[in-house]
Structure 1
Amino acid sequence: MGKINLRLTEVQNRERRLGTIIAWNGTASDLHTQSGYQQRGSGCKSNKDGCRLCEAKGPFTQGSVCSEQMVECQAGNVRDAVLIQHSPIGCGAGQVPYNSIYRNGLAMRGHKVENIRIINTNLQETDMVFGALGKLKQSIDDAWERYSPKAIFIGTSCPTGIIGEDIESVARKKQEELGIPVIPLFCEGFRSKHWSTGFDATQHGILRQIVKKSTKKQEDLVNVISLWGSDIFTPMFKELNLRVNYVVDMASVSDLEQLSEAAATVGFCYTLSSYMAAALEQEFGVPEVKAPMPYGFAGTDAWLRELGKVTHREELVEQYIAKEHARVKPKIAELKKKLQGLKGYVATGSAYAHGLIQVLRELDIQVDGSLVFHHDPVYDSGDAREDSLGHLIEHYGEVPSFNVSNRQQYQFYGLLQEVKPDFILIRHNGLAPLASKLGIPAAPLGDEHIAIGYEGIVNLGEAILDILAHKKFHDDLKKHAKLPYKQWWLEQKDPYILAKHPELIDA
């Protein structure tokens, strides 16, 4: 893999850096073979053609989100910082749900509950003609006066990218004036075809301007790159005499500053953690725990053992593994009886989906299909131990209908018809209502930590039982709901037919 370059103010998007795609259909093993993880991890030096991954490009996009929104839910969730969205007010619509998520996240982590601190510059038509750097400067001053933040993030938008606003120079001058980091995050919606580049943009800015170069190390501190989920890592790490430094969401600026002092970095999902973890190792000497993600017995065992190796706690790890196996296996045996004969479906982000499928198969739940919102053929470290799709296939078997689609409802209908699951696991809930209209209950995984580790197998099994208890509601909804599609599409067997034959739209 190429080196991460923190000297640049703009992060390289995932398409160029990793080869990310947003549309594909086939089997999990076909996708893994075509991805060529190990070859990509070595920089694709041996065979250029092997670096190409075909993409089923459709003629239109029905609905998705953008990189700017991911900056909103990351930089906007740093507790003692402010995010300024240099954008029209419409780009700030996400502040409403993100404020709810932020408040809930603070409560789950035991922090003081407060509102999110995001300011929008409210660009108008005249600003698109004459520029709006004056509004940006005023917004920075307002943020400083109202909140006295320890850092200010500036998120770009499609309009500021179009008119070429010189945000970087404003940030540099205001940083000198205020004496705090003022960090431009380049996240225009058109910068990348998938929103996950927004995670990288936030992390890039933090790594460049907040993380301190330090020779001081805290041998018991572990960076956990996560979103806003419940605190499952603190009790787990306590058994290993380790402490948690949660980043980026719900972190303080001082938590971010000490990223360089940790003994190791881990994540619950390589989609989220790949960039920051690799950069921390490359630039600050903090080792990334390179292992399968902590889902199911195989993944959690390997993840803990690698963490123990990096932090020199091998004996404590083995004791913890033995104790947890003995504790959860009887519970899992009982859950298997109750879940017998069920068929599940996973519709989430890429690496997270791989982990959830592993947990479902630990519960003996049949998984014939999955929809991932994008696919990274390789992660930033390039290490084969982080090949999450390969780990899924090796330890838990094939997924016959494994599809990539960035939340396209019209395709989701056909994919569900193909495998006919009893329930779905989903994040980004825009797809859940469609499943409900088909009589399929969904578990919206608002707490993304629900399935992590040994207890996560139990948690997910119990969550599935909870949603299946409401199956009759979804059956009733199916009887009375009308789908917004014409009959020819409802009868269509190939959800990707428009990608293969876009001329059908005009037929």
Structure 2
Amino acid sequence: MKVDLNTSVVKTREQRLGTIIGWKTGKTSDLSRDSAYTCGGCKGNGGKRLCEAIGPFTQGSSCSERMVECQAGEVRDAILIQHSPIGCGTSQVACNSIYRNGLKNRKLPIENMKVINTNIKETDMVFGALEKLEQSIRDAWERHHPKAIFIATSCVTGIIGEDIDSVASKLHEEFKIPVVPMYCEGFRSKHWSTGFDATQHGILKYIVRKSSKKQEDLVNVINLWGSDVFTPILAELGLRVNYVVDMATVEDLEQLSEAAATVSFCHTLSSYLAAGLEEQFGVPEVKAPQPYGIAGTDAWIRELARVTHREKEAEAYIEKEHKRIAPKIKELKKLLSGKKGYAATGSAYSHGLIAVLGELGVQVDGSLVFHHDPVYDNNDPTKDSLKFLVDNYGDVPNFSVSNRQQYQFYGLLKNVNPDFIIIRHAGLASLASRMGIPAVPLGDEHHAVGYQGILNLGETILDILARKKFHKDLSSHVKLPYTKWWLEQRDPYILEKQHYVVY
């Protein structure tokens, strides 16, 4: 990987990683095998890519700009300017709710996001809207005196070719704070995770300090809004946590370069920032499996300890935790014996959750991931979360890639018929409920992390299984919004049969 901080624009995941958002149902081992020689050309192997299942329409998804909104918009002492029509600001409501809940969970002062929308209209499409952008940035400065101002582009600004950089540069010189352009037009990438990269590129280019100072006990934890589970884990090794990007301060972002290492709960989220910190600022990324299940957490702790020279403390912690959780896992396995689970989340996160289900003795016959990254930015094989899953927990026979398409989700669940689903983006949970299947909605993405996370998830599954009769009753009194023909289909990808595209 080569992070180019001479440009404001980050390459999309399709360009860098060969990311896809559709793949017909198959075994995890099949997808892992095909991904081994598939990475969009980044290994210099001719750029062979996976065949992607392209549907004739999309029922719903998200976009890169929203990911910028829910990251840069949630830096506590900064302001986000959405240079877009007002419609692009509708998700501020949902993002603000998540932000406030996250602050409460971390015991931080509760406040609202600070986001200003420039409200681009039809006349602006013709005559340009840079004056609006400049005025919005000045308003943000006068009202809030932030320590940084982020600018998110939109499909509209991309279409008319707004020169965001010129305004950002001018006002940076005037206000003497970072004014950060982030190019995240929704049409730029098929998958919204490119929005994470746009935010992280802006932080690397404009905010992270170029400093030789190091804090040898500080570890960057790239995360979203989850509860503070990493502080007690890292404290066992004598380490401190620097949580970024959501709910961080600008100072937290500035000191990213001073940390001893960088870790995360999810390779998808952290890929670009972790690799960029290592390449540009010499902060080593902990190249290990994700901290889920016993095998993954053991490897994650040991590699972090190796990088920070705390091997003795790590082994003592691992031994202590193994003894603590062993009897509880044994009890949970008995209670969950014979149960079938299904994970429906982002790709790397789903791999981790399936590993936890494996520790609990839950049968996993199927999983839906919303996208698939054949590799991550550092291109290190130890971060191949799909291969780690196959090697340590076996095959998942009905593994699918589909970008949050409800019409496909019905068929995927019908073919597997699980006792419950674990879901991250709750929009699909209501469909499962109407099919009589209860859902574990993981609003706290750290719920299943680490050794305690195995117990957390097991106990939560028992809680929702206790309410299964409610979902069965619901399914007998509702009608799904699909034709009889579609409800009878066995192949959720039948509409894509004539639309396979090889890039």
Shorter-chain TM-score: which interval? over 0.9
Counterpart residue number, 1:4: 3
Counterpart residue number, 1:180: 177
Counterpart residue number, 2:295: 298
Secondary structure of the corresponding residue to residue 404 of structure 1: strand
Whole-Å separation in 1 of the counterparts to 2:491 and 2:122: 43
8 Å CA contact 1:67, 1:197 repeated in 2: yes
CA drift of 1:282 comes to: 0.3
8 Å CA contact 2:216, 2:259 repeated in 1: yes
Matched, 1:36 2:33: no
Secondary structure of the corresponding residue to residue 422 of structure 2: strand
Whole-Å separation in 2 of the counterparts to 1:80 and 1:87: 22
8 Å CA contact 2:70, 2:95 repeated in 1: yes
8 Å CA contact 2:15, 2:40 repeated in 1: no
8 Å CA contact 1:221, 1:244 repeated in 2: yes
Whole-Å separation in 1 of the counterparts to 2:196 and 2:57: 25
Whole-Å separation in 1 of the counterparts to 2:153 and 2:228: 31
- Work out which of the residue numbers 83, 91, 99 in structure 2 matches 1:86: 83
Residue identity opposite 1:311 in structure 2: T
CA drift of 1:29 comes to: 0.6
Matched, 1:126 2:149: no
Q: Deviations over 1:398-449 (max 9, x none)?
A: 0001100000011101000110000000011111111011000111100000
- Work out which of the residue numbers 343, 347, 355 in structure 2 matches 1:346: 343
CA drift of 1:48 comes to: 2.1
Counterpart residue number, 1:394: 391
8 Å CA contact 1:42, 1:382 repeated in 2: no
CA RMSD of aligned residues (A): 1.3
- 1:205/1:363 Cα in 2 relative to 1: closer, same or farther (>3 Å)? same
Counterpart residue number, 1:458: 455
Q: Deviations over 1:61-93 (max 9, x none)?
A: 111000000001000110000001011111111
Matched, 1:500 2:460: no
Matched, 1:440 2:440: no
CA drift of 1:130 comes to: 1.2
- Work out which of the residue numbers 241, 245, 268 in structure 2 matches 1:244: 241
Secondary structure of the corresponding residue to residue 231 of structure 1: coil
Matched, 1:18 2:17: yes
Counterpart residue number, 2:272: 275
CA drift of 1:42 comes to: 9.4
- 1:473/1:490 Cα in 2 relative to 1: closer, same or farther (>3 Å)? same
- Work out which of the residue numbers 208, 214, 221 in structure 2 matches 1:217: 214
Whole-Å separation in 2 of the counterparts to 1:36 and 1:6: 29
Whole-Å separation in 1 of the counterparts to 2:12 and 2:468: 41
Whole-Å separation in 1 of the counterparts to 2:137 and 2:425: 31
- Work out which of the residue numbers 374, 378, 389 in structure 1 matches 2:375: 378
Counterpart residue number, 1:416: 413
Residue identity opposite 1:276 in structure 2: L
Counterpart residue number, 2:46: 48
Whole-Å separation in 2 of the counterparts to 1:481 and 1:384: 47
Residue identity opposite 2:30 in structure 1: D
CA drift of 1:41 comes to: 10
Whole-Å separation in 2 of the counterparts to 1:96 and 1:67: 17
Residue identity opposite 1:454 in structure 2: Y
Whole-Å separation in 2 of the counterparts to 1:430 and 1:102: 18
Residue identity opposite 1:16 in structure 2: Q
Counterpart residue number, 2:107: 110
- 1:68/1:42 Cα in 2 relative to 1: closer, same or farther (>3 Å)? closer
8 Å CA contact 1:223, 1:246 repeated in 2: yes
Residue identity opposite 1:35 in structure 2: S
Whole-Å separation in 1 of the counterparts to 2:98 and 2:55: 32
CA drift of 1:231 comes to: 0.1
8 Å CA contact 1:41, 1:381 repeated in 2: no
Secondary structure of the corresponding residue to residue 357 of structure 2: helix
Secondary structure of the corresponding residue to residue 366 of structure 2: strand
Whole-Å separation in 1 of the counterparts to 2:41 and 2:491: 35
CA drift of 1:117 comes to: 0.5
CA drift of 1:502 comes to: 6.2
Whole-Å separation in 1 of the counterparts to 2:130 and 2:58: 32
8 Å CA contact 2:14, 2:40 repeated in 1: no
Secondary structure of the corresponding residue to residue 219 of structure 2: strand
8 Å CA contact 1:41, 1:378 repeated in 2: no
Whole-Å separation in 2 of the counterparts to 1:406 and 1:154: 27
Whole-Å separation in 1 of the counterparts to 2:61 and 2:257: 34
Residue identity opposite 2:309 in structure 1: H
Secondary structure of the corresponding residue to residue 398 of structure 1: coil
Secondary structure of the corresponding residue to residue 166 of structure 2: helix
Would you say how many aligned residue pairs link Structure 1 and Structure 2?
499
**What percent of counterpart residues are identical?**
71
Whole-Å separation in 1 of the counterparts to 2:328 and 2:385: 26
Secondary structure of the corresponding residue to residue 242 of structure 2: strand
Whole-Å separation in 1 of the counterparts to 2:90 and 2:462: 34
Unaligned stretches of 5+ in structure 2?
none
Secondary structure of the corresponding residue to residue 143 of structure 1: helix
8 Å CA contact 1:343, 1:368 repeated in 2: yes
8 Å CA contact 2:16, 2:40 repeated in 1: no
Secondary structure of the corresponding residue to residue 55 of structure 1: strand
Secondary structure of the corresponding residue to residue 380 of structure 1: coil
CA drift of 1:44 comes to: 2.9
Whole-Å separation in 1 of the counterparts to 2:178 and 2:483: 53
- Work out which of the residue numbers 315, 318, 325 in structure 2 matches 1:318: 315
Q: Deviations over 1:214-270 (max 9, x none)?
A: 110000000000000000000111111000000000100000000000000001100
- 1:395/1:502 Cα in 2 relative to 1: closer, same or farther (>3 Å)? closer
Q: Deviations over 1:339-384 (max 9, x none)?
A: 1111000000010000000000100000000000000000001010
8 Å CA contact 2:39, 2:49 repeated in 1: no
Residue identity opposite 2:80 in structure 1: L
Counterpart residue number, 1:478: 475
CA drift of 1:158 comes to: 0.6
Unaligned stretches of 5+ in structure 1?
none
Tell me which moved more, 129-138 or 62-71. Answer: 129-138
